[in-house]
Amino acid sequence: MLGTWESDPLGEGEFPTIPSFCYMEKAVISHVGQPMLNFTFCASNPETGKPLHRECGFIRVKPGTSQVAFICAQNIGVVEVEEGEVQGEQLTLTSHSLSRMSFAKEPYVQQISRTFRLTPEGKLEQTVSMATSTQAMAPHLRVTYKKVTS
């Protein structure tokens, strides 16, 4: 997963309560020598370049296992810890704790599930589903990234 990645083609967003949309996203996954990955995911409007959703955090592996923690802060005022497992080329995660700022906009996200998958062609895919205070778990994002620098 290490490297700088850009959505190619554009990411696709949906949810039962909102109109579908496309977005551009740059993902930077790096390390500083500690046994964890650092990440930033920065989405923008593909036409205007206007910054949209942003996330940053860390990916940690429980030593000696395939158990993974995904620790994430989002610019919408949400912080969360997802946990899951690597199986082959796929990482599957579900939030087990999530918190938000007191003045976050409703509806409130209540659960997040995501997958990362490295394809045989060397691309990285991410999918995100969520449940909110008004809607049961449903897909929100699907994006394929192409590596732009290693």
Nearer to ligand HEM, 25 or 37 (CB): 25
Decide: 82 and 55 in contact? Cβ < 8 Å.
no
Task: Supply the minimum distance, in Å, between the C-beta of residue 145 and ligand HEM.
Answer: 12
**Residue numbers of the site for ligand HEM (CB under 6 A)?**
13, 15, 17-18, 21, 23, 43, 52-53, 74, 78, 107, 109, 112, 128, 130, 132, 134-135, 140-141
Task: Supply the minimum distance, in Å, between the C-beta of residue 13 and ligand HEM.
Answer: 5
Task: Supply the minimum distance, in Å, between the C-beta of residue 92 and ligand HEM.
Answer: 15
Nearer to ligand HEM, 37 or 140 (CB): 140
Q: Compute the CA torsion angle 94, 98, 104, 110 (nearest 10 deg).
A: 50
Nearer to ligand HEM, 29 or 130 (CB): 130
Task: Supply the minimum distance, in Å, between the C-beta of residue 111 and ligand HEM.
Answer: 9
Q: Which residues, including other chains, have CB under 8 Å from residue 27's CB and lie 6 or more apart?
A: 4, 5, 6, 39, 40, 41, 42, 124, 126, 145
Residue 68, CA distances (Å) to 28, 29, 35, 75 in order: 18, 15, 12, 23
